[in-house]
């Protein structure tokens, strides 16, 4: 029977086999071995050496004892073993813990290693600077695991950065490693993968949902699954992946468990970047304080806002605004900067967003039913080889304010498909936002009523042979 001798950060055992004693170690709570059992290479002739008084200690035994002492050193001080430095805590407010070889209170200046799990209690904040000068912060009630953090200056092929948001809210300002090798950075949540384009972003995660907002640069959010594995690195280039850029102001991506792809929705307050945070310098490697916004100037070609903007007719309360200024059909909307003047975003996708007049209070009917006429609509067939424009032929939209529900039918056609009909039903919130229900709908609809309830608009998406049909609509009473 082994004779256990308790050692800090682990256990040491002597097990007798004839005249030999073998030193075995099990490092409890050790994240850097991920719970693996380690066998020290110390074989000690203790029984034969000490069974006879005055017996000389042989050279073989001295060598064995040397091996044993080395093994004990690494048991008692595992940080000197194969723990890899990932960063350090630069600020700690409130009660937080770091679980590595043991659980310790998080304090400023504490070194962080690969495998460490950080947890903040309610009211606590943690800020970290990583070895590549990246900035990471945890908001109250959050947990983050440092899965890997390999970085060598000037060696992009050596970069391997992956962190997992176990739950809560985490902000990440990409460092030199992420800028040098964007395809080797990954942040996962329980259901999604976040890849970056050189970014300052904030993400909130639970076991069943993920929300992401971008302050600078861009991210790609994709559901984990086939083609997007949790142990991979970089952006997931899958059908369900969606990009969110900083120029999509006041918007965020939302993904719920079971959804095929994220959806673009208005930004909620708890994901907004704190107004009191100073802005970082416009280049990576900034010396900005922890959790600074890290705002980087957006490439003019990406924001793409024209110098001269056409005058928008003032008699409509709702309009589609597009992110890009590239010449397009007017039905696809007007440039973002123009659409946002005096208006608020309601819903949107990676191409455009639905804006409504924000000058008036929300005054939707409390009862009754309203029927709407189609004012405009556009549709495109999205296929692997590109997109082909279709035609919206007509449709109906009805809103029942008694039950806070809507129903719509949209008739359209597309090359090689012929006539296609969208049928959707769903809910209408107190703020006028509309979302389709899975039951009773053959596609996905997200939209909004104007603040007066006199206009409406929605975007839609439904599967079609060889691809998907997606588009936008506007309606009036």
Q: One digit per residue, pLDDT tens: the chain, 477 residues?
A: 444 443 333 444 444 444 444 444 433 333 333 333 343 333 344 444 444 445 454 566 556 556 555 555 454 444 444 579 999 999 998 899 999 888 999 999 999 999 999 999 988 899 999 999 999 999 999 999 999 999 999 899 999 999 999 999 999 999 999 989 999 999 999 999 999 976 889 999 999 999 999 988 889 999 999 899 999 999 998 988 998 888 777 788 999 998 989 988 887 766 666 543 322 222 222 222 333 332 222 222 222 222 222 333 345 788 888 765 443 444 457 777 778 788 888 988 777 889 998 888 899 999 999 999 988 888 988 887 778 888 898 999 999 999 999 999 999 998 888 899 999 999 999 999 999 999 999 999 999 999 999 999 999 999 988 788 999 999 998
What per-residue confidence (pLDDT) applies to 95? 92
Is 278 among the domain residues?
Answer: no
Q: Which of 35, 54, 80 is the last residue of a domain?
A: 80
Is 276 among the domain residues?
Answer: no
Whether residue 470 sits in one domain with residue 409: yes
Q: Which of 59, 80, 101 is the last residue of a domain?
A: 80
Whether residue 122 sits in one domain with residue 250: yes
Q: What b/e readout covers 378-405, taking b as 16+ CB neighbours within 10 angstroms?
A: bbbbbeeeeeeebebeebebebebeeeb
Q: Which residue in 189, 359, 191, 329 sits closest to 260, CA to CA? A: 191
Distance CA 426, CA 414 (A): 25
Whether residue 41 sits in one domain with residue 117: no
Whether residue 203 sits in one domain with residue 255: yes
What per-residue confidence (pLDDT) applies to 284? 26
The end-to-end CA distance of the chain, in Å, is: 85
Take residue 460 and report the two structure tokens written for it: 């839609």
Distance CA 90, CA 76 (A): 26
Is 289 among the domain residues?
Answer: no
Q: What is the CATH number of the domain that holds 396?
A: 2.40.160.90
Distance CA 247, CA 265 (A): 14
Distance CA 68, CA 322 (A): 69
Whether residue 118 sits in one domain with residue 241: yes
CB 422 within 8 A of CB 396: no
Residue 300: which residues within 8 A CB-CB, separation 6 or more? Answer: none
Q: Which residue in 272, 276, 303 sits closest to 289, CA to CA? A: 276
* Domain total in the chain: 4
Q: Which of 222, 253, 271 is the last residue of a domain?
A: 271
Take residue 338 and report the two structure tokens written for it: 């123009």
Whether residue 348 sits in one domain with residue 384: no
Whether residue 112 sits in one domain with residue 261: yes
Whether residue 379 sits in one domain with residue 236: no
State the residue for tokens 């008699």: 315
- Kindly provide the residue ranges of all beta strands, DSSP E only, lying in 174-272, ordered along the sequence: 185-188, 192-196, 200-205, 209-216, 218-223, 242-245, 251-256, 263-266
Specify the long-range contacts of residues 408-415, CB closer than 8 Å, at least 24 apart.
408/445, 408/458, 410/374, 410/377, 410/460, 410/473, 412/377, 412/379, 412/469, 412/471, 414/379, 414/380, 414/381, 414/388, 414/390, 414/464, 414/469, 415/381, 415/388, 415/390
Whether residue 385 sits in one domain with residue 472: yes
Whether residue 207 sits in one domain with residue 180: yes
What per-residue confidence (pLDDT) applies to 120? 95
Is 280 among the domain residues?
Answer: no
pTM of the model: 0.51
In terms of residue numbers, what domain contains 24? 3-80
Distance CA 7, CA 30 (A): 13
Q: 294: phi > 0 → left, psi -120 to 50 → alpha, else beta; which?
A: left
Is 284 among the domain residues?
Answer: no
Burial of 416 (0-12, 13-18, 19+ CB in 10 A): exposed
What per-residue confidence (pLDDT) applies to 66? 60
Is 281 among the domain residues?
Answer: no
Q: What is the CATH number of the domain that holds 135?
A: 2.60.120.1440
Whether residue 472 sits in one domain with residue 422: yes
CB atoms inside a 10 Å sphere around CB 244: 24
Query: Any idea how long the chain is?
Result: 477
Take residue 193 and report the two structure tokens written for it: 């993968």
Compute φ and ψ for 32, nearest 5 degrees: -75, -15
How far from chain centre, in Å, is Cα 341? 29
Is 286 among the domain residues?
Answer: no
Is 193 among the domain residues?
Answer: yes
Whether residue 249 sits in one domain with residue 111: yes
């Amino acid at each position: 029977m082994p004779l256990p001798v308790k050692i800090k950060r682990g256990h040491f055992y002597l097990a007798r086999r004839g005249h030999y004693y073998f030193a075995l170690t099990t490092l409890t709570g050790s994240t850097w071995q991920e719970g693996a059992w380690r066998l020290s290479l110390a074989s000690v002739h203790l029984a034969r050496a000490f069974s006879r008084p005055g017996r000389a200690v042989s050279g073989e035994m001295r060598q064995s004892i040397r091996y044993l002492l080395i093994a004990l050193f690494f048991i008692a001080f595992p940080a000197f073993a194969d723990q890899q430095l990932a960063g350090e805590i630069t600020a700690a407010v409130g009660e937080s813990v770091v679980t590595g070889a043991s659980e310790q209170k998080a304090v400023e200046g504490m070194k962080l290693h690969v495998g460490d799990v950080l947890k903040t209690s309610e009211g606590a904040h943690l800020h970290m600077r990583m070895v590549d000068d990246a900035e990471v912060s945890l908001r109250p009630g959050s947990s983050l695991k440092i899965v890997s953090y390999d970085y060598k200056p000037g060696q992009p092929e050596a970069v391997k950065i992956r962190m997992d948001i176990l739950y809560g809210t985490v902000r990440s300002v990409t460092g030199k490693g992420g800028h040098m090798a964007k395809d080797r950075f990954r942040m996962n949540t329980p259901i999604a993968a976040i890849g970056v384009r050189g970014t300052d972003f904030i993400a909130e995660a639970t076991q069943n949902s993920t929300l992401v907002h971008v302050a600078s640069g861009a991210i790609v959010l994709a559901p984990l699954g086939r083609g997007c594995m949790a142990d991979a690195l970089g952006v997931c280039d899958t059908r369900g992946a969606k990009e969110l850029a900083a120029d999509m102001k006041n918007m965020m991506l939302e993904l719920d468990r079971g959804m095929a792809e994220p959806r673009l929705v208005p930004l909620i307050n708890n994901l907004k970047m704190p107004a009191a945070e100073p802005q970082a310098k416009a280049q990576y490697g900034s010396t900005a304080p922890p959790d600074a916004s890290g705002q980087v100037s957006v490439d003019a070609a990406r924001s793409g806002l024209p110098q001269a903007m056409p005058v928008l007719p003032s008699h409509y309360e709702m309009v589609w605004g597009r992110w890009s200024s590239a010449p397009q059909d007017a039905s696809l909307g007007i440039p973002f900067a123009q659409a946002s003047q005096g208006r608020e975003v309601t819903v949107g996708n990676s191409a455009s967003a639905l804006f409504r007049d924000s000058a008036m209070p929300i005054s939707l009917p409390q009862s009754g039913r309203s029927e709407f006429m189609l004012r405009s609509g556009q549709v495109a067939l999205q296929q692997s080889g590109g997109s082909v424009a279709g035609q919206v032929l007509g449709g109906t939209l009805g809103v029942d304010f008694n039950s806070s529900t809507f129903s719509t039918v949209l008739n359209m056609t597309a090359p090689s498909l012929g006539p296609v009909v969208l049928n959707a039903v769903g809910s209408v919130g107190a703020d006028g936002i509309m979302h389709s229900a899975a039951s009773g709908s053959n596609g996905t609809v997200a939209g909004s009523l104007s603040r007066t309830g006199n206009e409406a608009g929605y975007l839609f998406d439904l599967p079609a042979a060889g691809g998907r049909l997606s588009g936008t609509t506007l309606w009036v009473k």
